[in-house]
Chains A and B, each alone.
Chain A
Amino acid sequence: MAMAALRREGRRFAGSITAPRPMPDIRSALISEEQVPLGVRSISTQIVRNRMKSVRNIQKITKAMKMVAASKLRAIQTRAENSRGLWQPFTALLGDTPGVEVKKNVIVTISSDKGPEKEVKYVILGEKAKAQLMRDSKKDIELCITELQKNPLNYTQVAVLADDILKNVEFDALRIVFNKFQSVVAFLPTMSTVLSPEVVEREAEAGGTLGALDSYEIEGGETKGEILQNLAEFQFSCVMFNAVLENACSEQGARMSAMDSSSRNAGDMLDRLTIFYNRTRQASITTELIEIISGASALEG
């Protein structure tokens, strides 16, 4: 709705600009290209007034959009930071191994509305990623998921998604790509890795952080393999939840800073237009005064 209002204002604004020229020249540009009927003696300020009105409206709209984005950001930021605690124990236990060599890589790209023989398959969440990846790797796309914004983000939705992905796609390693939220103006594209249970076993034998897994005692009636599988699925679901939240944060942050810079831009434009308007107005008043005075002195003299 705000975008439609912005578009209207933009059209009105563009209609009153006849040609894009640098500011110092704009005075002559406007006056020379104005449709002034013959015999009219005063310079019309109507055009400038129209431009000022539309720029002011644009500024109001972008300010409102910024406020909306800021409030959404605040709400979602707390959730994202809380959800970080979900997968940190996993990383402490299993380690994060982005450099692992596996045969089947599945890349889950999350985006606002995605060795020897390595296969790479993509699962796309979101329209933006879909447009990008369709250009390069059309053949490698496995699943495409859209329309996620209808409900506010909750864990259940992510869990259902994770379930779908786990059922449909065979994988050795899942790499989730998303924008990690650092601050309102900075987001890092990050990749987190979730390994399938078989690969975890393999890495455990190779030693390192995963090798320490064997020193843990397993309670209950389940074997290590089953536990690893449950853990892997749950880890994937948690990491995806966090990734989706962080991505939403980054999106709102980007939107907020974009709206902020555009309102500031509109403010600058408004200042320049106001100065120009006043100068034109004063020039026309001066011209009239000169005519009146010279006329009067001609009568007397």
Chain B
Amino acid sequence: MASSGAAGPFWRAAGMTYVSYSNKCASMVRSCLKEPHRTEALEREKVHFSISKWVDGKPEKPSIREGTGGD
């Protein structure tokens, strides 16, 4: 994933995408809030979906991802 030979930013070297990096930063900012804004913000962070990878036209067992977006 490194394009010009340099290691790039630390999170890229750790295997995260820009999207997951910004997500983690956002959840950190959200946890800095005081109540009651904090519970409101944490409501906005909930994640739930079920994902299944298909191989050769057959679905594998679906796995459910949930929890907060901070991974």
Contact = CB atoms under 8 A, between A and B. Distances in A.
Given A142-B53, A160-B23, A160-B65, A226 B12 contact: yes
A222 interface: yes
A257 interface: no
A156 B26 contact: yes
A237 to B, nearest CB: 5
Interface in B23-71: 23, 26-27, 44-54, 56-57, 59, 62, 64-65, 68-69, 71
Interface stretch (A27-35, A102-110, A228-236): A228-236
A159 B1 contact: no
B56 to A, nearest CB: 7
Contacts of B19: 159, 162-163, 166, 233-234, 236-237
A145 B68 CA distance: 18
Interface residues of B, number: 35
A141 interface: yes
Q: Binding site of B, secondary structure by majority: helix, strand, loop or mixed?
A: mixed
Nearest to B23: A159
B10 interface: no
Contacts of A156: 23, 26-27, 44-47, 68-69
Q: Binding site of A, secondary structure by majority: helix, strand, loop or mixed?
A: helix
Contact of B6 (A151, A168, A223, A237): A223
Nearest to B12: A226
Contact of A233 (B6, B17, B68): B17
A165 to B, nearest CB: 9
Interface of A: 138-139, 141-148, 150-151, 154-157, 159-164, 166-168, 197, 222-223, 225-226, 228-230, 233-234, 236-237
20 contacts: A143-B51, A143-B52, A143-B54, A144-B52, A144-B53, A144-B54, A144-B59, A147-B64, A151-B46, A154-B45, A155-B44, A162-B19, A163-B23, A164-B51, A164-B65, A166-B19, A223-B3, A225-B3, A225-B4, A226-B4
